Amino acid sequence: MSAWGGVELGRTSAADIFWPANGILIAFLLRLERCYWVSYLAGSVAANIFAHVYFGFSPGQLALFSASDTIEVLPAALFLSTANAQKPDLGRLPVLGRFFLSGVLLAPLVSAAMVELSLAIWSKPAGFVPMTNWFVGDALGIAIMTPLVLAIERTELAQLFSPERRLETVGVLAGMGILSCAIFAQTGLPLAFLLFPVCCSRSSAWAHLVPRSASSF
């Protein structure tokens, strides 16, 4: 779903303007032992292919984008992961610095360089602006989504989907989804700011239930 959303957001641009999928995957890998990484990476490749097939990308593009996304995820996951799969504490300056260098800078740079080199060999280079868009979109996805997903605890999610809160949670998520689709389906008006007050209101309402996730959100 996040891969599909990233492609949809970038349909009017030369590259994905915000790519959340890799940021989410990095957070998952950091909470897992490395013996489980292969299955998650394989699932990511499959989701990537399905999302790009839906939008009519060529087989060569499918292979290139899937490979570049996999290569992008690995540097950040390898530099930040621990032997016991402990969640990295991004509140500590050394850990935050490693995350910024390996995840926000190095990983998207490696991915963009691979795409540009492959295009230069097979057809023609994409150019500075499209590759800058690629780098910025992937960097934003990692910088925003990885800390957000890492901040979410299973116990907090269980509280949101408890019997007394389940209907409210589903209703809010459905409403956010409908509002987001309505905003991004049109291109005439810059209405993304409308999501901000809605998000803030729900964060305040749920703060007593999920303090870490709400504050990060």
Is 5 within 8 Å of 125 (Cβ atoms)?
no
Count how many residues are written for the chain: 217
Show me where the domains of the chain are located: 2-151, 158-216
Phi and psi based region of residue 149 (left: phi greater than 0; alpha: psi -120 to 50; beta: remaining) = alpha
Neighbours of 11 (CB within 10 A): 10
Residue pair 28/81 in contact by the 8 Å Cβ criterion:
no
Nearest to 50 by CA among 115, 120, 2: 2
DSSP H/E element including 58: none
Cα(32)–Cα(34) distance, integer angstroms = 6
Please give the single-letter amino acid code of residue 47. A
What end-to-end distance do the CA atoms of the chain give, in Å?
19
Cβ contact 95:80 at 8 Å: yes
pLDDT tens for each residue of the chain, 217 residues long: 555 555 555 555 545 567 788 888 999 999 898 889 999 989 888 888 887 777 777 888 778 888 888 888 988 898 888 878 888 888 889 989 999 999 899 999 988 888 888 888 887 777 777 788 888 888 888 998 899 888 877 777 777 778 888 888 888 888 878 877 777 676 677 666 676 676 666 555 555 555 444 444 4
CB 143 within 8 A of CB 23: yes
Q: Where do the H-state alpha helices sit in 55-165?
A: 59-80, 93-98, 107-122, 128-151, 154-160
- Whether the CB-CB separation of 130 and 15 falls below 8 Å is answered with yes
